Amino acid sequence: MQIKNLIQQLEWHTVRRWSTRELSGIRKIIFHQELGDSTIEQVNSYHIKPNHISPRGCPHFAYHYGIRKNGEIIQANELSQITWHTKGENSHGIGIMLVGNFKGNGNEDATDDPTDKQIKSAEELANYLIDVFKLSKQDVFGHYQFGKPVCPGFKMQEWIENFRNDISEIKDIIKIKKTVKEIQKRLNSLGYAAGPVDDMMGVRTRYAIRRFQTDNLLETDGIVGPQTWKKLLLLTQNG
Ligand SMILES: [Zn+2]
């Protein structure tokens, strides 16, 4: 997989710049479609002028990556930059836009679908980012899951559902028996100070679970259910 870096080459807003974040805060990968028939360069020009996203214009192309119809992957922003692609998810999300005007909910009349090369690049890029940021396939989403039904369209939506439901990556580690001892050992290795590994669910262990859940955007209930257990296993796979 090749990623072409156009962060500098694509024109920037005259004065506006993105806020930034720690890379450790990245939790989600979110796919989008362009909903148009322009190039990445043209979308960039649109984004940096007054537009529907911001009356003053955005600092730059509003996604981290764009994928052209020929499958070429363009990086448009640093991953430490908080771009404006998904309301409520930008501080921890990576935004990826596929060029095109795809059929989707509310856009049934469109005639376009993502190309096979675009989907192949989307999959390679998602797998690469999962690896770099220690995410899981369940951390890959479409904008439709955050209130925009048309984005990224029927074909990508189907691909996302299939990708998210592939549990082959976790079926080996999920066999590990969930005991309090195992939970404590793993929380401690991540620096959550669950206390001595005594197999007892005490106050410190419960507090460590809640902090782990908060940090990983899981429901903060202090209970190690399937989602919390899976995340804990994924983050402690090699230790
Ligand atoms: Zn979108």
Ligand 1 centre to CA of 147 (Å) is 9
Q: What is the pLDDT of residue 168?
A: 73
12 DSSP assignment: P
Q: How far apart (Å, rounded) are the C-alpha atoms in residues 143 and 150? A: 8
Q: What is the pLDDT of residue 219?
A: 87
Q: What is the pLDDT of residue 169?
A: 67
Q: What is the pLDDT of residue 160?
A: 96
Amino acid at 66: G
For 34-63, give one letter per residue: b (16+ CB within 10 A) or e: bbeeeebbebbebbbeeeeebeebbbbbbb
Residues paired with 20 in a beta bridge: 81
Nearest to 94 by CA among 143, 45, 43: 143
CA trace torsion 3, 4, 6, 8 (10° rounding): 90
Q: What is the pLDDT of residue 172?
A: 67
Q: What is the pLDDT of residue 235?
A: 87
Q: What is the pLDDT of residue 159?
A: 97
Q: What is the pLDDT of residue 72?
A: 98
Q: How far apart (Å, rounded) are the C-alpha atoms in residues 127 and 132? A: 9
Give the residue range(s) of CATH 1.10.101.10 domains in the chain.
Answer: 173-235
Ligand 1 centre to CA of 33 (Å) is 6
The 10 Å Cβ neighbour count of residue 70 is 10
Per DSSP, the three-state class of 173 is helix
Q: How far apart (Å, rounded) are the C-alpha atoms in residues 113 and 69? A: 10
Which DSSP string do the residues of 152-167 spell out, in sequence order?
S-HHHHHHHHHHHH--
- Give the CATH superfamily of 173-235: PGBD-like superfamily/PGBD (1.10.101.10)
Ligand 1 centre to CA of 83 (Å) is 12
Q: Can you name the CATH fold of 3-166?
A: Lysozyme-like (3.40.80)
Nearest to 127 by CA among 96, 154, 104: 96
Q: What is the pLDDT of residue 179?
A: 95
Give the residue range(s) of CATH 3.40.80.10 domains in the chain.
Answer: 3-166
Ligand 1 centre to CA of 143 (Å) is 5
Ligand 1 centre to CA of 118 (Å) is 16
Q: What is the pLDDT of residue 130?
A: 94
pLDDT in tens, the chain (239 residues): 999 999 999 999 999 999 999 998 999 999 999 999 999 999 999 999 999 999 999 999 999 999 999 999 999 999 999 999 999 999 999 999 999 999 999 999 999 999 999 999 999 999 999 999 988 888 999 999 999 999 999 999 999 999 988 877 667 667 788 999 999 999 999 999 999 999 999 999 999 999 999 998 888 999 998 889 988 988 887 64
Ligand 1 centre to CA of 134 (Å) is 24
Q: What is the pLDDT of residue 218?
A: 86
Ligand 1 centre to CA of 32 (Å) is 4
- Global pTM value: 0.79
